[in-house]
Structure 1
Amino acid sequence: MKIHSGVLLAVLLALSGQALASCETVKADISKKIVANGLPESGFTLDIVPNDQVDQAGGQVVGHCENDSQKIVYKKVGQDDSNTVPDSAGSSQDSSQ
């Protein structure tokens, strides 16, 4: 029984690591799209935040991950009054929202 529990724990840890990696993958894809639209990487930030902290993060939600439990928030650096991001910069998951 101890071996079975150990294997189960190892699988759960591996899956949790993959869930984080998937958020990082979505974030990287969105970043590439924003850069392809002409904004340098130093001109914006993308933050992964839990759903319940989106309001405190400020910025614009441009993606989601981990079964929609995390949001990816875009903020333009140096211009507080303009947080617009091109429609094509979001993930394909966001196109229906």
Structure 2
Amino acid sequence: MKGKKWILTALIIATPLAVQASCETVKADINQKIINNGVPANGFTLEIVPNDQAEQAGGQVVGHCENDSQKIVYKRGAEGDAPVPANTGTSQDAPSS
């Protein structure tokens, strides 16, 4: 009987880990598909967010996991990229002397 209790306890502890792993697996699969479609790996980010936060994440939902309780959100550009101001020029824009 003690063996059954330990097995049940181990399953209860391992279940959240397996659920998280499945979200990471889904995210990795989506990541690879996007890269295979020609998008550079540093050109986007994927984020796992709870369903109720998917709209606030500011990207496009491209997948779901954990029995549809989590969403995977795609955002263009690398994390931490700041938008480039419209008036930013290059040395070619400078008048020549």
Off by >2 Å, runs of 4+ in structure 1: 1-9
> What is the total number of aligned residue pairs between the two structures?
80
Q: Which has the higher helix share?
A: 1
Matched letter for residue 21 of structure 1: A
- Using CA pairs below 8 Å that are at least 6 residues apart, which structure has the higher relative contact order? 1
Superposed CA RMSD:
2.0
CA distance in 2 between partners of 1:10 and 1:69 (Å) = 23
For 1:88, the equivalent position in structure 2 comes to none
CA distance in 2 between partners of 1:70 and 1:11 (Å) = 22
- Structure 1 residue 56: Cα displacement: 1.3
Matched letter for residue 7 of structure 2: V
Structure-to-structure mapping, 1:1-97, within 5 angstroms: 5-77=5-77
Matched letter for residue 65 of structure 2: C
CA distance in 2 between partners of 1:63 and 1:46 (Å) = 10
Runs of at least 5 residues in structure 2 that lack an aligned partner in the other structure: 84-97
Runs of at least 5 residues in structure 1 that lack an aligned partner in the other structure: 81-97
Of the two, which has the highest radius of gyration?
Answer: 2
- Structure 1 residue 16: Cα displacement: 1.1
Q: TM-score, normalised by structure 2?
A: 0.72
- Structure 1 residue 9: Cα displacement: 2.6
Aligned residues: percent identity? Answer: 62
- Structure 1 residue 5: Cα displacement: 4.6
